Amino acid sequence: MAVILDGKELARKIRQNLREEVDALKRRGILPKLAVILVGDDNASKIYVKNKSKACEEIGIDFEEYVLKEDIQMDELKNLINSLNEKKDIQGILLQCPLPPHLDVNEALKTIDPKKDVDGFNPLNVGKLSLGQDTFVSCTPYGIVKILEEYNIPIQGKHVVILGRSNIVGKPLIQCMLQKNATVTVCHSKTENIKEFTRQADILIVAIGKAKFVTMDMVKQGATVIDVGINRSEDGKLCGDVDFENVQKTASYITPVPGGVGPMTIAMLMSNIVKAAKN
């Protein structure tokens, strides 16, 4: 049976360390502050923002929320972002996605000052990550790297197979793994014979948004399996993209859902805000 990679406990330890760092910054007169922009009335987005607010409160980071109407125009959104770019008391800016379809998300993310882009989505920061330069790393990939490091799971020279090529997880994760000297294969919706690739993986990272998609016969004996998915099973329970109950019999390490990658994503956001405040 696999060792369970406890992202919840690791995230707790990281938040504790960050709280001490924030206290030290405050003694120097630096007050870390995050501004979050929420457009519209999406319930899932509201929950995500609430969780970020709670994490900020726990660590001692000031939190400011800007709730905009669903029908806001692009110019108005960009004007708000630019005004937050100018505010010296705000170190981090986060645009909660998805946005309503009439708004250009790429244009909005490009408007965020790269020095305040704590989500790591500004094209400049994406480019710096590709070049191996110091930058803000997208929070979910950053959290995955931290989990692997915490459990001393070797990455160098290993074959990492990533299912999913999103801008939020898959693409930045490729760069993170290459920087750790892994051999990286990316599979996606157009990949044929996915099982042939997944069965080669020393580390299999799954981020495709399909409940229990990865089954035991798709995983090499002794592999490490990282499940990024958050879905609802047929009985309404939270589950990942991996058939956890069966895959854990084959894997050597595996993340649960919930309690794996999810808590680490918010912990690494907090880490990025503290980094922005230090800078």
Digit-coded pLDDT (tens) for 149-174:
999 999 999 999 999 999 999 999 99
The percent of residues in the chain predicted with pLDDT above 90, rounded, is 96
156 and 248 in one domain?
yes
87 domain residue, yes or no: yes
The yes-or-no verdict on residue 233 having pLDDT over 90 is: no
Q: Which of 119, 227, 241, 243 is catalytic?
A: 119
245 and 178 in one domain?
yes
**DSSP notation for 80-111:** HHHHHHH-TT--EEEE-SPPPTTS-HHHHHHH
153 and 91 in one domain?
no
Question: Residue 108 — very low, low, confident or very high, per pLDDT cuts 50/70/90?
Answer: very high
Contact 244, 5 (CB under 8 A): no
Q: Which of 96, 146, 212, 248 is catalytic?
A: 96
Give the domain CATH number at 193. 3.40.50.720
175 domain residue, yes or no: yes
Contact 132, 176 (CB under 8 A): no
12 domain residue, yes or no: no
Provide the pLDDT for residue 198: 98
The average confidence (pLDDT) of the chain is 97
Query: What is the mean predicted confidence (pLDDT) over 6-26?
Result: 97
Name the amino acid, one letter, at 47.
I
Query: Which of these three, 100, 115, 130, is where a domain ends?
Result: 115
98 closest CA partner among 23, 154, 48, 160: 48
276 domain residue, yes or no: no
The yes-or-no verdict on residue 235 having pLDDT over 90 is: no
Q: Which of 52, 146, 171, 220 is catalytic?
A: 52
Question: Residue 234 — very low, low, confident or very high, per pLDDT cuts 50/70/90?
Answer: confident
Residue 52 annotated as catalytic: yes
153 and 78 in one domain?
no
Rounded to two decimals, what is the model's pTM?
0.95
Q: Which three-class secondary structure state does DSSP give residue 67? A: strand
How many domains, in total, are found in the chain? 2
Cα–Cα dist 45/38, whole Å: 8
Residue 119 annotated as catalytic: yes
Strands 231-232 and 238-239: antiparallel
How many other C-beta atoms are found inside a 10 Å radius of the C-beta of residue 176? 20
152 domain residue, yes or no: yes
Strands 33-39 and 92-95: parallel
241 and 170 in one domain?
yes
| H or E element, residue 121 | none
192 and 105 in one domain?
no
Q: What is the pLDDT of residues 28-85, one digit of tens each?
A: 999 999 999 999 988 989 999 999 999 999 999 999 999 999 999 999 999 999 999 9
Domain that holds residue 75: 29-115
268 domain residue, yes or no: no
Provide the pLDDT for residue 58: 96
Provide the pLDDT for residue 236: 85
